[in-house]
Structures are given as structure tokens and as C-alpha cells.
Amino acid sequence: MKRILFALSISFMLTACDSKPEAPEDILPEDKMKAILIDMHLAEASVSVQNQAPAKGTALYEKLEKEIFVTHAVDSAVFNKSQQYYLENDLEAMQSIYKQVTDSLKSRQEEAEALKSKKKK
């Protein structure tokens, strides 16, 4: 009897882990998360190439981050809650979001390099 109860509890736990809870209404949709993350990574790259003192770089990034939230009409708390939701409850969606972010950033980098190469000729 103990083995049956143990097997049932393991089965229930595995099933519970497979099912993801329905996202709360205030969670950002995947497309919005992707757009914000792309802008954040571009801002981070922009700050990093400026070779500023760490404190100045951090201040500049924080300013850019606030502008990104304004541009996307998103509160930082909602963004953070959404990111936490995806990481804890829908890792597959978060992986998909980051694949799209990475693909977009690579594409932009390739376009910039092609343009730079074209200007040199």
C-alpha cells in the first residue's frame, strides 16, 4: 500500500510540474518581453562601448532603462514580475523569447557590419 501511495504521489508531482499555471493578467506577452529585452541589450551594448567609469556607465544604463520602459509603456515592476513569471513557470516560453532576442541582435549586428564594410569600399 505504501508503494502505491508513493507511486501516486510521484506521479502527481510529475504531472504538477508539467502543467504550468495560467499567466496572471498583468504578465507581459512574449512579443512585448522580446521587444523590451532587445532594447535593453542594445542599451547595455551602447554603454559598454563607451568605456566610461563603472559608476557613470551604471548611471547611463539606468537612465536608458527608464527610457525603454517609458517607450514601451511598461512599469519596471511589471517587467520584473513578468520576467520572474516566465523563468519560474514557463521556461520554454522564456527560452523562445531569448532565442528570438538573440536572433534579432545577431541580425542587427550582421546588418551593421555589412553597412560598415560597404562604406569602406
Q: Helices 54-71 and 76-89 meet at what angle, rounded to 10?
A: 90
CB 16 within 8 A of CB 8: no
> What average pLDDT score do residues 24-33 get?
94
| Amino acid of residue 103 | D
Place of cell 532565442: 99
> Which of 1-15, 43-57, 76-90 shows the lowest per-residue confidence on average (mean pLDDT)?
1-15
pTM, two decimals, is 0.78
The full DSSP string for 20-71 is -PPPPTTSPPHHHHHHHHHHHHHHHHHHHTT---HHHHHHHHHHHHHHHHHH
Q: Give the pLDDT score at 79.
A: 97
| Per-residue model confidence as pLDDT tens digits over 87-104 | 999 999 999 999 999 999
